[in-house]
Amino acid sequence: MNLESLENIPRSQKIIILALLFTILIGGFVYFIFLPGKTQVDALNKSVADLNHEIMTNEVKLRRLDQLKIENAQLQAQLNELRAQLPAEAEVSGLLKQISDLSIDSGLSIKLWKPGDRKKDPSGLYTAIPVDVEVSGGYHALGIFFDKVSKLPRIVNITGLSMESARAAGNSVLIQDKFIATTFAAEEK
């Protein structure tokens, strides 16, 4: 192809060829340079926005750090108080002896004291230690016993209470009481 052959082409075709060349150049620029650059710029803008959000979040946390340290210290103190209510495994027998002594001090006579199977909590924080108890005594003596148990510094749950076989003994009525006293021991780590 030479320049003379280009002179012989009608003017309208020359304009079309020039427009086509211009379109190809512009399209190539947009497809190969502009769009990939725009995608990269958008990705970098998103990354900058994410980093700015993370910086703002961390600045808020940093401002609250002293407050969170104080709250953590308070929660640790509260946790230590609650742990004090759960005896270690070695202390449980002393606690059960203390409960037994409370029943006698309250005027109840123990008919049955049978420790049950220990049950570990699924969370792994404590073990439940149930004791089947059967006592005989007056209604008020039982109330005094429950009051004394409720004032122990350790956790003791009384469940399954049943009162049976009421019989007169002098001026008072004796009742056969059955219940389960459950205490808890902290799991050793």
Whole-angstrom distance, CA of residue 126 vs CA of residue 119: 9
Within 8 A by CB and 6+ apart from 159, the residues are 179, 180, 182
Residue 40 clears pLDDT 90, i.e. is over it: yes
* pLDDT (0 to 100) of residue 32: 92
- How does pLDDT run across 42-58, given as a tens digit for each residue? 999 999 999 999 999 99
Share the mean pLDDT of the chain.
85
Q: How confident is the model at residue 10 (pLDDT cuts 50, 70, 90)?
A: confident
Q: What is the model's pLDDT at position 65? A: 87
The pLDDT tens digits for 74-86 are 998 887 777 666 6
pLDDT at residue 153 is higher than 60: yes
State the pLDDT at residue 34.
Answer: 92
HEC profile of the chain: CCHHHHHCCCHHHHHHHHHHHHHHHHHHHHHHHHHHHHHHHHHHHHHHHHHHHHHHHHHHHHHHHHHHHHHHHHHHHHHHHHHHHCCEHHHHHHHHHHHHHHHHHCCCEEEEEEECCCEECCCCCEEEEEEEEEEEECHHHHHHHHHHHHCCCCCEEEEEEEEEEEEEECCEEEEEEEEEEEEEEECCC
- pTM value is 0.53
